[in-house]
């Protein structure tokens, strides 16, 4: 039995480091990302893979990513939303019925515009948070693992018609083009 605990003491920190910085698994609750996630309604919750290297180490955030983020108003709650716009972009805010410029990176870092795929069931940048700080992003949802009939890659897309000005490059930037 002593060997088991020695192994546990050795591997536990490695496992924690791996799930904190590289890859983790998350159970998605709620209908804010329906039909992309939890497409089976209230009977099944999707279990997804969250890849973290791209955000935590490379700081590469792309429009269309389904991202896991820490709720700005509830620091112990994680949310799953889609990145619609990144810094320098101008997006159409359907709640205010006006354009919204995503602030550029400053001393505190950049921001992005996050929305759920199901607007009727989503508290997001449109109606609760406004532009979200990139430091709150935890990782990118890449695959659905469960239920088995929904397993596969999560598609990256965003509503192009909502962007008024799309900044150049995946991380934004001063270049922009009218859409």
Distance, CA of 29 to CA of 19 (rounded, Å): 20
Whether residue 52 lies in the annotated active site:
no
Q: Which residues contact 144 (CB under 8 A, 6 or more apart)?
A: 37, 46, 47, 48, 150, 151, 152, 154
Closest CA to 129 of 113, 143, 140, 141: 113
Query: Among 52, 56, 60, 81, which one carries the catalytic annotation?
Result: 81
Cβ proximity of 140 and 66 under 8 Å: yes
Distance, CA of 145 to CA of 141 (rounded, Å): 11
Whether residue 96 lies in the annotated active site:
no
Task: Provide the terminal-to-terminal Cα distance of the chain, rounded to the nearest Å.
Answer: 65
Query: Among 32, 52, 122, 125, which one carries the catalytic annotation?
Result: 32
Residue 68, sorted as left (phi over 0), alpha (psi -120 to 50) or beta, turns out to be beta
Residues annotated as catalytic are: 32, 81
């Amino acid at each position: 039995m002593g060997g088991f605990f020695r192994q546990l003491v050795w591997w536990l920190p490695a496992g924690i480091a791996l799930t904190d910085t590289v890859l983790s698994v998350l159970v998605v609750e709620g209908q804010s990302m329906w039909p992309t996630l939890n497409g089976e309604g209230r009977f099944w919750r999707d279990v997804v893979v969250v890849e973290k290297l791209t955000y935590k180490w490379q700081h590469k955030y792309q429009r269309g990513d389904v991202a896991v983020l820490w709720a700005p108003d509830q620091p112990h709650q994680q949310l799953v939303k889609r990145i619609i716009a990144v810094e320098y972009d101008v997006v159409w805010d359907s709640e205010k019925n006006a354009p919204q410029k995503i602030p550029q990176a400053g001393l505190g870092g950049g921001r992005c515009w996050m929305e759920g795929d199901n607007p009727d069931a989503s508290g997001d940048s449109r109606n609760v948070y406004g532009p979200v700080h990139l430091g709150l992003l935890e990782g990118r949802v890449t695959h659905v693992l469960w239920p088995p009939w929904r397993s596969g890659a999560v598609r990256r897309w965003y509503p192009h018609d909502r962007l008024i000005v799309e900044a150049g490059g995946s991380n934004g930037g001063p270049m922009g083009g009218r859409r």
